[in-house]
Amino acid sequence: MKKNTRKTLDEFIIERQDHFQYSTGELSRLLNSILLAARVVSYKIRKAGLIDIIGSAGATNVQGEDQQKLDLYAHNVFVETLVNREIVCGIASEENDNFITIEGLDEAHNNKYVVLMDPLDGSSNIDVNVSVGTIFSVYRRISPVGTPVAMEDFLQPGIKQVAAGYILYGTSTMIVYTTGKGVNGFTLNQAIGSFYLSHPNMKCPEDGNVYSVNEGNYVHFPQGVKDYIKYCQEEKENRPYTSRYIGSLVSDCHRNLMRGGVYMYPSTFKTPKGKLRLLYECNPMAFITEQAGGYASNGRTRILEMVPTELHERTPFYCGSKNMVKKVEEFVAKSE
Ligand code: AHG
Ligand code: MN
Ligand code: MN
Ligand code: MN
């Protein structure tokens, strides 16, 4: 009888317990609570067509987006799971104007971590049964333990993340995360509700032949990005590249992480600072990608070194194979 060599994520977390920079067990419990919430959201998403969970929730979020029912459902599941486990001292979410403090739990002020998240990424794909995701980012607080969490705890540069990950609700449900010691992927066995190590020590190829961008915005792209897209389409060397754009950051970045490629969301007419949010989309995806050997830039500088000033600030975002992102930076620099 062949031994099932696949570790469960729970076993993996315990095994890696002492690898965490601050191995107090809290980070392990935090990751486990995210896992629990991921299983609950995954279960709901798998039934989306049959239950009243698709379509608009009839409200607008701080981003000016029409909130989808699943945006709010996922937000509530992750927030409630994290609050009930009394592990974090504060939470920031795409779906909440301000950060969330843990009301009525004074002892929560003694907790060391804050979580920032995009509870449901790729909302435009929900109603058409195309994959969506969840993105999370974890920092140690910098305000004094024992005091209420403060905005400075959330406005830290991405290099200070202690953990980051995404859940991909795709053909299978996967969680991919890092605690700064490489990247590992786990697949959910829906039948028994356990995540199993399916993609150990993930590496992003330094080169690739896929570029992901919403070319509908081409006319408004910066000249350097237009030049790079033309470069991708030239019949030279290993080009033209393939264009793949799923419209869900998690899905596009996961494919590029696995196979090589570059995801681009430049500034556009409607979003002059870029569409993607630095704190809970770009920083976690950048941390994961760099931990796998890739790179993420705002077109000029490394995403992880940007110093945030606002909770929901946006940035142009280029992420994936190191040499491809560096090539974008080259074209942007040349055009200035
Ligand atoms: P969200 O659904 O969390 O608001 O994020 C959507 C983002 C990202 O997932 C995706 O790559 C991008 O928006 C798609 O934007 P366009 O539809 O403008 O291309
Ligand atoms: Mn949104
Ligand atoms: Mn998103
Ligand atoms: Mn979202």
Report the nearest-CA residue for atom 18 of ligand 1.
Answer: 214
Instruction: Residue 114: name the closest of 73, 80, 150 by CA.
Output: 150
Answer whether 100's CB lies under 8 Å from 91's CB: yes
Q: What is the mean pLDDT of each run of 10 residues along the chain (336 residues)?
A: 70 68 73 93 82 74 81 95 88 96 74 95 90 97 93 98 97 95 94 91 98 96 97 97 98 98 95 96 98 98 98 98 98 94
Task: Specify the pLDDT at position 10.
Answer: 80
Report the nearest-CA residue for atom 1 of ligand 1.
Answer: 121
First vs last C-alpha separation in the chain = 63
Prediction pTM value: 0.94
What is the C-alpha to C-alpha distance for residues 84 and 290, in angstroms, rounded to an integer?
A: 32
- ipTM of predicted assembly, 2 dp: 0.96
Answer whether 18's CB lies under 8 Å from 28's CB: no
What is the C-alpha to C-alpha distance for residues 84 and 33, in angstroms, rounded to an integer?
A: 9
Answer whether 146's CB lies under 8 Å from 21's CB: no
Owner of token pair 């909440």: 96
CA atoms within 13 A on the CB side of 313: 16
Phi, psi (degrees; rounded to nearest 5) at 214? -85, 90
Measured from the Cα of 118, ligand 1's closest atom is 3
| Ligand 1 in reach of 275 Cβ (< 6 A) | yes
Query: What would the DSSP string read from start to end of 175-215?
Result: EEEESSS-EEEEEEETTTTEEEEEE-S----S--SEEE--G
Measured from the Cα of 246, ligand 1's closest atom is 11
Grouping H, G, I as helix, E, B as strand and the rest as coil, residue 133 is strand
CA 26 distance to own-chain centroid: 21
Task: Specify the pLDDT at position 336.
Answer: 86
What is the C-alpha to C-alpha distance for residues 264 and 248, in angstroms, rounded to an integer?
A: 12
| Ligand 1 in reach of 247 Cβ (< 6 A) | yes
CA–centroid distance, 330 to ligand 3, in Å, is 27
CA–centroid distance, 188 to ligand 1, in Å, is 24
Which residues line the annotated binding site? 94, 118, 120-124, 214, 245, 275, 281
| Ligand 1 in reach of 213 Cβ (< 6 A) | no
CA–centroid distance, 29 to ligand 4, in Å, is 24
CA–centroid distance, 135 to ligand 4, in Å, is 8
CA–centroid distance, 92 to ligand 3, in Å, is 14
